[in-house]
Structure 1
Amino acid sequence: MLQSDCPKGNLIETGGNLVDLSMCDQMGHMTVREYATVFDEASYELVKACGLELDGETGFVDLEMNMKFINEIREGGVFYVKSGFVKLGTSSFTAMHYMFSSLDDSLIASCEEKAVIFDLNKRKSEPMSDEFKKLASGFLVD
């Protein structure tokens, strides 16, 4: 699957890296732990692009992350990540993150993330700001 085969909409670039030996398992593949790190970092980039101030008072909490592995990536491989939203609720959102090979734009993996905007002091969810919703709606995908 190529980038052009992914859902249509405004995906934003949220990460990328060169796979080095420390990111690989004993078989030379990038480890699941590293995929989780890549998608977690993409989440932060996506919400920051929507104006969420990660200021120690407001943040977001992942409720669920489902990863799918499509193609292998090994040491020396280079990838980039693009992300967008598939659903915006009152305080929750569902985002999709796609990892592509920089070599040929083929899809390596994807991650569906369900999260909630969170008041870190009160330890409870809070509604998305109008600014966040407005900016996030610009990154909606089918």
Structure 2
Amino acid sequence: MGHMNVMYYINFFDQASCHALSACGYKWTEMGDQNMGFADVKHTVEYKGEQKVGSPIVVESCVTRRGRTSLTLKHRMTNAETGELAATMEVITIHFDLAARKPVPLREDTIELIDSLLVENPED
């Protein structure tokens, strides 16, 4: 149909979540070695402007909430050429013990960094 379909939006947002979690102090190689990870439990996506296949896309992310075991991330996707807002996604993700298959508290050594990244009422 000539436009980016849903799987591409979700792929871009998923990659952005990985980068945001890295910025929060979670290194993917270390988490794998420790059998830890993050599991998304809720996605809220709003499609704002159709994007053609091959459009240059930029995703900006922020942390909007920190819980005991969870983070809420907000992603904003824009077209780099036009500045048009393409989509937004809010993600609730939990710190997850991959062996026990259950949520675990966020690491204490990341709390201060995460709190420094919190943004209230991000622009849609």
Range class of TM-score, shorter chain: 0.7 to 0.9
2:81 maps to 1:107: no
Relative to the length of structure 2, the TM-score reads 0.87
TM-score (norm 1): 0.76
The whole-number CA distance in structure 2 between the counterparts of 1:139 and 1:99 is 19
- Tell me the secondary structure at the aligned position of residue 36 of structure 1: helix
How big is the shift at 1:106? Answer: 2.4
1:71–1:109 CA contact under 8 A, matched in 2: yes
Shift of 1:40: 0.8
Please name the residue that 2:116 is paired with: 138
Q: Secondary structure at the match of 1:138?
A: helix
Greater relative CO (CA pairs within 8 A, separation 6+)? 1
Q: Quote the residue 1:39 is aligned against.
A: 13
CA–CA separation in structure 1 for the residues paired with 2:22 and 2:93? 14
Q: Is the 8 A contact 1:88 1:94 kept in 2?
A: yes
Task: Please state which structure has a larger fraction of its residues in helix.
Answer: 2
Find 1:86's aligned residue among 64, 78, 93. 64
Percent identical residues: 33
> Counterpart of 2:57 in 1: which secondary structure?
strand
Aligned Cα root-mean-square deviation (Å): 1.2
Q: Is the 8 A contact 1:53 1:59 kept in 2?
A: no
Change (3 A) 1:74 1:127: same
* Corresponding residue for residue 8 of structure 1: none
Question: 1:84 Cα deviation (Å)?
Answer: 0.6
Q: Which SS does the other structure have where 1:137 is aligned?
A: helix
Within 5 Å, give how 1:1-142 maps onto structure 2.
27-54=1-28, 55-56=31-32, 57-142=35-120
Per the TM alignment, residue 130 of structure 1 is displaced from its structure 2 partner at its CA by: 2.3
Give CA-to-partner distance per residue, 1:4-31, whole Å, 9 cap, x none: xxxxxxxxxxxxxxxxxxxxxxx21101
Gaps of 5+ in 2: none
CA contact (8 A) 1:50 1:131 kept: no
Q: How many residues align?
A: 116
Aligned AA (2:55): G
| Structure 1 unaligned regions, length at least 5 | 1-26
